[in-house]
Amino acid sequence: LCTVSYGKVKLVLKHNRYFVESSHPDVIQHLLQDPVIRECRLRNSEGEATELITETFTSKSAHLPLSQISKTAESSGGPSTSRVTDPQGKSDIPMDLFDFYEQMDKDEEEEEETQTVSFEVKQEMIEELQKRCIHLEYPLLAEYDFRNDSVNPDINIDLKPTAVLRPYQEKSLRKMFGNGRARSGVI
């Protein structure tokens, strides 16, 4: 039953500190009522729990709709993809699957201004926190905030000039590294 709540809660690594983050404040409140998760929450020097952090950020989505991606792939005359078509030119993949992915992209694009609620957790209790969240049917998606990381240096990586990304590869990489965060378990 975790499919209903999948993706609602994230474990984010920011500035070498871990935060449980969600755009659903009610989910965070539900998790904090659990004694195990409450114990995993970082406490300040007086022994009080740290406050909930509320952030608003704007995400500029670089996603192309799936229909545009397939049109660009066809018009580019580049390498062929593994999509098999029948003589009428129809794809062997059902259109409802394409519609599903297009709807997912539209939902992500609509989330341009998102308000998130988060709290910091103890690093030594991350594994226990993840297990408990799975038990509560709120699996944590792991994310790394690489855009705002000032501790680790950036690595300059360039593709070979002959390398051509296929549309599905480009789309997957955009989903994995969108919003300045590297997501785990998305693809």
Q: Where are the domains of the chain?
A: 1-60+112-154
More confident of the two residues 27 and 70:
27
Average pLDDT over residues 27-45: 87
Model confidence pLDDT, tens digit, residues 45-91: 665 656 677 765 555 433 334 333 333 334 444 444 444 444 455 44
Model confidence pLDDT, tens digit, residues 131-142: 999 999 898 989
Q: Return the closest-CA partner of residue 126 out of 115, 117, 116, 134.
A: 134
Tell which phi-psi region holds residue 86, choosing left (phi > 0), alpha (psi between -120 and 50) or beta: beta
Helix (H, G, I), strand (E, B) or coil at 166: coil
In DSSP terms, 20 is beta-bridged to: 11, 119
The average confidence (pLDDT) of the chain is 74
